[in-house]
Chains A and B, each alone.
Chain A
Amino acid sequence: MNTELFDRLGIPDRMREIAAYDLWDDGLRAGLDAIAKRSATLMDAPVSLVSMVLDTSQFILGSYGVTSWVAEVQGVPAEWSMCTHTVLAGEPYCVVDGLSDPRHTENPFLRMTGLRSYLGVPLLGPGGHTLGAHCVIDGRPRIFSDLDLAVVTDGAEQAMALLESYRRPS
């Protein structure tokens, strides 16, 4: 497995901050599904996700348009996850065309799903760690606009506000 990547994602303080949320609550999941659906609809995109990026995998908490084995598994290995790049960057991350972008041409997840363009905004926790990402993914090459970024940023802020209401008392 990809030890260097997993070590970067699996920082103990960051993992503890993620673990403070009740990520399995049905109400939280429904709320995050609604946020994903709103972002996808506003941007006329087929797929949107709200995820935590754990040490070895992306854990999808809310989604719109996810199909096949990814829907059943509720995640993907971290090394295939576009949201991993958003989390490690700690700022909005954009891919216009994954099939021609040298950072992603060998990503099997893109080849398997046919998804090509990506815009993700980090979910910033109150402890200062980047916990996950809210993203919109399209099946066509796409140059995202400032308005698109505003939509996903707003969705990320809504997701984080909702997550805060599911934080366990420490």
Chain B
Amino acid sequence: MCKGTALSSEAPYGLTSPTMDDARDAVHRVHGPDGPRVWSHLLQAAGLTGQEPDAFERMLRLMASADPTTRLCATALQIRASSYGHLAAAHSSLRSHSG
């Protein structure tokens, strides 16, 4: 799964930072047939089109205050984002000390 990727600063241990596409996929996944409607409602509430590359944090905050199932999605994505942040920072620190 992650062999050979541990030294990538963009993907420490193969982990990537979640994106708007990941948020959309999660909402579609956990809401099943209602997913597109829920995602559309979230975009509308956030004033987004879904094409904004830097809107993940904003969408995550909105998802965290939405219905309980969407909130779980937000929690799971936040865990991934925070894990990525910690590991990327640790990797960056290691590189600066070894470089």
B-binding residues in A (CB < 8 A): 1, 3, 6-7, 10, 12, 15-16, 18-20, 54-59, 69, 72-79, 106-108, 112, 168
Contacts and interface: CB of A to CB of B under 8 A. Distances in A.
A10 B83 contact: no
Contacts of A3: 25
18 contacts: A12-B30, A19-B69, A54-B75, A55-B76, A56-B80, A57-B75, A57-B76, A59-B75, A69-B83, A69-B87, A72-B86, A73-B82, A75-B79, A77-B15, A77-B79, A78-B76, A106-B1, A106-B2
Contacts of B67: 19
B68 A56 contact: no
Nearest to B67: A19
A69 B80 contact: no
B16 to A, nearest CB: 7
A108 B91 CA distance: 13
A117 to B, nearest CB: 20
B contact patch SS:
helix
A91 to B, nearest CB: 23
A58 B32 CA distance: 21
Given A72-B82, A77-B83, A108-B13, A56 B31 contact: no
A77 B69 contact: no
Given A16-B69, A108-B14, A56 B76 contact: yes
Given A77-B15, A79-B1, A108-B6, A15 B79 contact: no
Contacts of B86: 69, 72-73
Nearest to A1: B22
A168 B18 CA distance: 30
B95 interface: no
Contacts of A7: 29
Contacts of A168: 68
A106 B75 CA distance: 26
Contact of A12 (B14, B25, B31): B31
A54 B80 contact: no
B77 interface: yes
A15 B69 CA distance: 6
